[in-house]
């Protein structure tokens, strides 16, 4: 019986259309805490209580303190071997689309370009009134930050619970999932929809879906196989098993 690793590598050797969905687990080895892992609370709050438009309306400073901590983490983190292997897969498979739920900017820093950030990016913020965008990871002097142009509140460019995903990013991600022969689901608990649904869209359309995650998820039984290793180890191993 070939192992799941061997089956994945041979599926990748045969495939020309490959894409991937990633979540917080990909950045765990860069030192960025996942959301639902042990101690995945922030100041005693569940993520669903901080990452909502209601929480921001009630106490923008508190929400910004949470994102300021995550911005500091992202600033101090470096892409790991998993991010780099995903960027290399884009070179190898034309049309490879990386759909990420991560907002830390590490995929882009690792060189991924055919990338959709389904939940936005912590690197950007925008004015709730005039929509002016600022883009940096520098520490903010005042929380909550206000717009230099019109004096209104700035918010992180993050898709909060209860908000729709960016229309074009979601359309591109669905199309890539539907077109894939092999689809990788990496470092996500697959609990937050619609993003997690991409794995099901790919499976329904006939892709071989492989999960790369040390832990099983609710969707694991739907997949063709799983590599139960940290992505920073599994992805480079997969890459080096491919020809060339
Ligand atoms: P979660 O924290 O829900 O899940 C992280 C997953 O990564 C878990 O299944 C872990 O087993 C796995 N994991 C941990 N270390 C890993 C490693 N080294 N290699 C591979 N996998 C590892 O994070 P997400 O699924 O990304 O949304 O969460 C989805 C969304 O919920 C986030 O985008 C965020 C959050 O609320 C918003 O902020 C809108």
Q: Do 181 and 234 have their domain in common?
A: yes
Beta-bridged to residue 158, according to DSSP, are 120
CATH of the domain at 49: 3.30.1600.10
- pTM for the whole thing? 0.96
Whether the CB-CB separation of 88 and 113 falls below 8 Å is answered with: no
Given 132, 158, 184, the domain boundary residue is 158
Going by CA atoms, what residue is nearest to atom 25 of ligand 1? 188
CATH of the domain at 1: 3.40.50.1220
Residue whose CB lies within 8 A of the most ligand 1 atoms, among 20, 25, 80, 231, for a mutation test: 25
Q: Do 231 and 193 have their domain in common?
A: yes
Each residue's pLDDT expressed in tens, for the chain with a length of 244 residues: 899 999 999 999 999 999 999 999 999 999 998 888 765 666 677 777 889 999 999 999 999 999 999 999 999 999 999 999 999 999 999 999 999 999 999 999 999 999 999 999 999 999 999 999 999 999 999 999 999 999 999 999 999 999 999 999 999 999 999 999 999 999 999 999 999 999 999 999 999 999 999 999 999 999 999 999 999 999 999 999 999 7
Q: Do 90 and 170 have their domain in common?
A: yes
Going by CA atoms, what residue is nearest to atom 13 of ligand 1? 25
Going by CA atoms, what residue is nearest to atom 15 of ligand 1? 25
- Residue 27: give the domain boundaries: 1-32+79-119+164-244
Q: 119 an active-site residue?
A: yes
Q: Do 113 and 127 have their domain in common?
A: no
**Count of structural domains within the chain:** 2
Counting Cβ atoms within 10 Å, is residue 226 exposed (0-12), middle (13-18) or buried (19+)? buried
């Amino acid at each position: 019986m070939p192992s799941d690793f061997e089956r994945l590598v041979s599926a990748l050797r045969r495939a020309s259309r490959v894409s991937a969905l990633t979540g917080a687990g990909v950045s765990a080895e860069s030192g960025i805490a996942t959301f639902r892992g042990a101690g995945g609370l922030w100041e005693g709050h569940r993520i669903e209580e901080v990452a909502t438009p209601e929480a921001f309306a009630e106490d923008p400073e508190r929400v910004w303190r949470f994102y300021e901590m995550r911005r500091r983490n992202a600033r101090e983190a470096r892409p790991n071997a998993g991010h780099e292997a995903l960027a290399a897969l884009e070179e190898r498979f034309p049309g490879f689309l990386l759909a990420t739920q991560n907002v830390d900017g590490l995929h882009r820093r690792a060189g991924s370009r055919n990338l959709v950030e389904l939940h936005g990016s912590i690197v950007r913020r925008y004015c709730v009134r005039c929509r002016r965008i600022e883009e940096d990871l520098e520490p903010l002097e005042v929380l909550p930050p206000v717009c230099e142009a019109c004096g209104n509140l700035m918010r992180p460019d993050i898709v909060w619970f209860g908000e729709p995903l960016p229309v074009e990013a979601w359309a591109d991600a669905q199309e890539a999932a539907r077109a894939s022969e092999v689809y990788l689901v990496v470092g996500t608990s697959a609990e937050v929809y619609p993003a997690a649904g991409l794995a099901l869209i790919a499976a329904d359309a006939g892709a071989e879906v492989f999960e790369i995650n040390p832990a099983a998820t609710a969707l694991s039984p739907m997949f063709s196989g799983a590599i139960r290793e940290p992505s920073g180890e599994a992805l480079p191993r997969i890459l080096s098993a491919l020809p060339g």
